[in-house]
Structure 1
Amino acid sequence: MELARSAHLDTFARDHLPPPGQWPRLVFDLPELRYPDRLNCGAELLDRTVERFGADRPVFRDGAGAVWTYGELRDRVDRIAHTLGDLGVVPGNRVLLRGPTTPWLAACWLAVMKAGAVAVTVLAQARAGELSVMCEMARVSHALCDSRVVGELVKARVPGLRVTEYGGDAPGDLLRLAARPPGRRARFEAVDTAADDVALIAFTSGTTGRPKGCAHFHRDVLAVADTFSAHVLRPRPDDLFAGSPPLGFTFGLGGLLIFPMRAGASALLLEQAGPRQLLPAVAEHRVSVLFTAPTAYRLMLADVGAHDTGSLRRCVSAGENLPAATWQAWYERTGLRLINGIGATELLHIFVSAADEAIRPGTTGLPVPGWQARVVDASGHPVPDGQEGLLAVRGPVGCRYLSDPRQSEYVRDGWNITGDTYVREPDGHLRHVARADDMIISAGYNIAGPQVEDALLEHPDVLEAAVVGHPDEVRGRIVVAYAVLRAGVPRDGATEEALRAFVTSRLAPYKCPRRFVFLDELPRTATGKLQRFRLRAP
């Protein structure tokens, strides 16, 4: 596939895409997906939306009650984009974005888009070791980081990384730099990027624990809005979006920034957005569109009657399988039909889903308009309805790993193989069976067991470690660590707490085991291979 002329001066991202022969076949069946060759998604989401709906519409709110209009957002984004140039950012540079979910983080992301750079948005929870690996893989040169969480980024000691804090009191704070000189109120003309210039690199973890960088184009950002959001979610300009996924997850990037802005709507950006915070926020701010994981919906069931949820009209569930019982209980207590969906970082957002009368509880749904899906065997051949197989999808967005041999594992015969086992029902609905690999999905988070094992094995008291997922009524699955300890180390609660603290100091807290089991030895085959299936057994 021949790419359009790039606007990037730093061509690292395009240079490290997989060979065209390893790409999935892209599908642009819908007329709205036939984008022009030159396209900047930041300008489309912000500048074009202002032209269509006016500058006075609200775009972002925060938990403290502050409201930003589209016009105010454009002014702040343009100031930041000018400042990026002052900091030495050129089109194509990778810029790490790190901080809690706030309007300022969203403004930084949009500024990076308009400046023609490549956003690498990571979780505020990410630890120094994780940050170091991602920065090295993406050759990140600059970072914009909320001043409250800059410590781990400094500890990462990334060679040559220029870190600019925002939201603090330092003279070099990004927001102070962007506030002057007064002449910087002038508009920033978005860089004339190609539709297939890389706009963002989103990191996911495989079963080996080694993260994979997923490169997505400017047109991809709009494509997920013009498929799932436009055809399934169907937002309105007066909608207020909210949800738990942070902007560091593509689930949150779509649900809290791309989708509302594409529709001229607004979003409530909450720094704390767990199940205990969501229902009060819905009631206080009159949220109409909610994004979160099945675990959160299950946890909110107990309190949903104590809060006014009358403003809600759309509730989206993704990140893990949605049990039919959870769907039914939510419907009985709220009268709202949960919109289930499956997405992937590799494909940016949701590609199988259903809404309204098309919903079949217990299934994920149908291929989203603009996408194709089928269930195949290990050789890539479609299997009959009712038979288990691997989910294969293709559409306007495809998996493009950054310099990673695992590209050929995910993309086969032009299809994206998601790593999920599915069944296609006779009516065409797709039903989730299980993950096909060792990824643990807990409360909507993807956790690679081997990565947690590696962290545990750094502790001097741990001789062997194996990490698997166990079923849990609340979280779907929980992380359970099996460990063989050094002789003389007590197998008690104090050791468990010490190991938990040790892992949390190295990995994001959500990856930390919730249970520890101490064994004399791990189950292995005669050749020494770990028998994980025995650890997963009840």
Structure 2
Amino acid sequence: MDPRHPGDAGTTTHAEGASGAARGPSVSAHVDTFARDHLPPPDQWPELRFELPELRYPGRLNCAVELLDRTVTRFGAEWPAFRTDSGPAWTYGQLLDRVDRIAHVLTGELGVVPGNRVLLRGPTTPWLAACWLAVLKAGAVAVTVLAQQRPHELRTMCGIARVTHALCDARCVDDLVGAGVAGLRVTTYGGDAPDDLLPLIAGAPDGPYPAADTAADDVALIAFTSGTTGRPKGCMHFHRDVLAIADTFSAHVLRPRPDDVFAGSPPLGFTFGLGGLVIFPLRAGASSLLLEQAGPRQLLPAIARHRVSVLFTAPTAYRAMLDGVDGHDVGSLRRCVSAGENLPAATWHAWHTRTGLRIINGIGATELLHIFISAADERIRPGTTGLPVPGWEARVVDGSGESVPDGEPGLLAVRGPVGCRYLADARQREYVRGGWNLTGDTYVRDPDGSFRYVARADDMIISAGYNIAGPEVEEALLRHPDVVETAVVGHPDEERGQVAVAYAVLRPDAPRDAEALRAFLKSELAPYKCPRRIVFLEALPRTATGKLQRFRLRAAAGDTPADGTGVPRAGRPE
């Protein structure tokens, strides 16, 4: 059975009609069919679950209309939607007007047709969020990337997704232009160019934009994640998926209210931030504080100024804010969400002691769009991730896909209303096995049903909530003329969970200049991917057949050999 199409009620493989009756294959609204044409083959899809009544969406669905137009109808146009530190709040009515005007410009002035991929790039601002909504409303596919990403990274992602258009904050357009993507039409916003988006929308038609009549299973967005090979993977998500993450984790675990004010550190280029700062508040009729700078030093005073009640950030930030929390008024907070890396029990308890707030831990994945295991309130057990979110199932399996007994470690396998669909990527077979999504994490299921994180099962380095693929950093280092070979691994770090450490072998006459290598890497990669330490070696540890022994590098600490069996001594850390 094609997993885009209906199955039996409760264990369906596709969205069904509002009444629950099975319907025939959907008719895509996409004129440009690239995304649908490059979905994985049907036999490589995970089984999808739509057991909750609220997940049984109609066959025709535009998620931007559901998030914005329907919310205006429910709560009114004067309710605040987006707040900033630099001006008055945008009301829902103002947001709707600006989104409709951007959509008019996209399909009129810029020639975007349903199904075209539109790159979105900029700091976290209401304009970036409005552009995202407008792209979806126009039936195009949003590809939101980080403002930090460099030309090489942008060029790769644009090539994979065959991006045709881009809306980019004028302050960070240089790297996008420098990427030299053939045929890419770049439109800035917030600048002084004569064809800047903001003057264009001022002349756009008044009144509602007729939203594209998208199918529930039309691709709405492509979110990129880096795999252990370093080549980014494009994760394709449908219009119904955008609503499903709000109608599962947000509705059943977070339980937001219309008077909530959301804030957080993850950028909108991460699905953690997209859900927590845009999708969840809009679905609930709440407002969101969008901060361009949202580190721990900025979050604490912002919480006090704007009376933030729902906070999304990583364990690293909660640890960093502990020392300053007593000097700021955080009494407005009622929900604190942690994801992106494992939340240590000590951090949970320290935050609870200082604030009285119980952090909602969770694990999500770009492949599954957002959080699928979590717990709130009385169901929280510090030191565990939580329970499967309503609408999701989880188990711990061995290498053959069989469940292991409670208390034994194994691979985390999950399934629910959203599943992994890589864009034309052979790694789909690795992530989806036997109808389940294997996240690449090692977990233990406790007898009470809680899931407890053990470690990453692959070479991904998780540092302060950021995923860093070691091989991607290695590829960048090898582009430096002095680097002969290199390996990048994660070392434990009390503050960040892990830090990336690069081991490099240089050509014989090259200077061991770590700062020069760092400067080179910062021109090639987003800053968070750059190693915190660079260690120079005479040779990398390898087997007799030449295979790199990463485990021996992970075991090394500073200039101490990993063991006494011939691992090259790491020179002085630079």
TM-score over 0.5 for the pair: yes
Q: After superposition, give the CA deviation of every residue in 1:442-480 in whole Å (9 maximum; x if it has no partner).
A: 000000001101111111111111100000000000010
One-letter amino acid of the counterpart of residue 189, structure 1 = P
Matched, 1:170 2:188: no
Matches within 5 A, 1:139-178: 139-178=162-201
Quote the residue 2:13 is aligned against: none
Matched, 1:110 2:133: yes
Quote the residue 1:188 is aligned against: 209
One-letter amino acid of the counterpart of residue 230, structure 2 = G
Give how far 1:124 is off.
0.3
Q: After superposition, give the CA deviation of every residue in 1:468-525 in whole Å (9 maximum; x if it has no partner).
A: 000000000001001111213333xxx1100000001000000001001111111000
Give how far 1:361 is off.
0.3
Matched, 1:98 2:116: no
* Counterparts of 2:252 and 2:87, CA distance in 1: 31
Quote the residue 2:256 is aligned against: 235
Matched, 1:6 2:24: no
One-letter amino acid of the counterpart of residue 389, structure 1 = G
Quote the residue 2:73 is aligned against: 51
Quote the residue 1:508 is aligned against: 526
* Counterparts of 1:166 and 1:403, CA distance in 2: 31
Among 286, 297, 310, the alignment partner of 1:289 is: 310
Quote the residue 1:421 is aligned against: 442
DSSP 3-state at the match of 1:193: coil
Quote the residue 2:247 is aligned against: 226
Among 273, 280, 294, the alignment partner of 1:259 is: 280
DSSP 3-state at the match of 1:191: coil
One-letter amino acid of the counterpart of residue 486, structure 1 = R
Among 219, 232, 245, the alignment partner of 1:211 is: 232
Matched, 1:359 2:380: yes
Q: After superposition, give the CA deviation of every residue in 1:31-61 in whole Å (9 maximum; x if it has no partner).
A: 0000000000000000000000100000001
Kindly report structure 1 stretches of 4+ aligned residues shifted beyond 6 Å.
Answer: none
DSSP 3-state at the match of 2:396: strand
* Counterparts of 1:381 and 1:312, CA distance in 2: 42
Number of equivalent positions? 533
DSSP 3-state at the match of 1:176: helix
Quote the residue 1:395 is aligned against: 416
Q: After superposition, give the CA deviation of every residue in 1:15-38 in whole Å (9 maximum; x if it has no partner).
A: 000011110000001000000000
One-letter amino acid of the counterpart of residue 299, structure 1 = A
Quote the residue 1:20 is aligned against: 42
One-letter amino acid of the counterpart of residue 257, structure 2 = R
DSSP 3-state at the match of 2:311: strand
DSSP 3-state at the match of 1:384: coil
* Counterparts of 2:121 and 2:479, CA distance in 1: 26
* Counterparts of 1:72 and 1:104, CA distance in 2: 12
DSSP 3-state at the match of 1:185: coil
* Counterparts of 2:34 and 2:218, CA distance in 1: 11
Q: After superposition, give the CA deviation of every residue in 1:161-185 in whole Å (9 maximum; x if it has no partner).
A: 000000011110011101005xx11
Matched, 1:405 2:423: no
Quote the residue 1:67 is aligned against: 89
* Counterparts of 1:186 and 1:311, CA distance in 2: 37
Quote the residue 1:521 is aligned against: 539
* Counterparts of 2:530 and 2:423, CA distance in 1: 27
Matches within 5 A, 1:389-538: 389-491=410-512, 495-537=513-555, 538=557
One-letter amino acid of the counterpart of residue 324, structure 1 = A
- Larger RCO: 1 or 2 (CA < 8 Å, sep 6+): 1
Among 331, 335, 344, the alignment partner of 1:310 is: 331
Among 178, 190, 198, the alignment partner of 2:219 is: 198
* Counterparts of 2:510 and 2:179, CA distance in 1: 31
* Counterparts of 1:255 and 1:65, CA distance in 2: 22
Q: After superposition, give the CA deviation of every residue in 1:108-130 in whole Å (9 maximum; x if it has no partner).
A: 00000110000000000010010
DSSP 3-state at the match of 1:418: strand
DSSP 3-state at the match of 1:110: helix
Quote the residue 2:319 is aligned against: 298
* Counterparts of 2:195 and 2:480, CA distance in 1: 39
DSSP 3-state at the match of 1:490: coil
* Counterparts of 1:460 and 1:158, CA distance in 2: 25
DSSP 3-state at the match of 1:172: coil
* Counterparts of 1:136 and 1:311, CA distance in 2: 45
Quote the residue 1:78 is aligned against: 100
* Counterparts of 1:397 and 1:453, CA distance in 2: 32
Matched, 1:245 2:299: no
DSSP 3-state at the match of 2:391: coil
Stretches of structure 2 lacking an aligned partner (at least 5 in a row): 6-24, 558-574
DSSP 3-state at the match of 1:427: coil
DSSP 3-state at the match of 1:498: helix
Give how far 1:251 is off.
0.3
Among 46, 52, 62, the alignment partner of 1:30 is: 52
* Counterparts of 1:385 and 1:479, CA distance in 2: 32
One-letter amino acid of the counterpart of residue 550, structure 2 = R
Q: After superposition, give the CA deviation of every residue in 1:195-227 in whole Å (9 maximum; x if it has no partner).
A: 000000000000000000000000000000000
Q: After superposition, give the CA deviation of every residue in 1:57-99 in whole Å (9 maximum; x if it has no partner).
A: 0000112142000000000000000000120100000000000
* Counterparts of 2:216 and 2:98, CA distance in 1: 24
DSSP 3-state at the match of 1:420: strand
One-letter amino acid of the counterpart of residue 367, structure 2 = E
DSSP 3-state at the match of 2:524: coil
Quote the residue 1:322 is aligned against: 343
* Counterparts of 2:417 and 2:430, CA distance in 1: 20
One-letter amino acid of the counterpart of residue 146, structure 2 = L
Quote the residue 2:565 is aligned against: none
One-letter amino acid of the counterpart of residue 242, structure 2 = V
DSSP 3-state at the match of 2:134: helix
* Counterparts of 2:306 and 2:287, CA distance in 1: 11
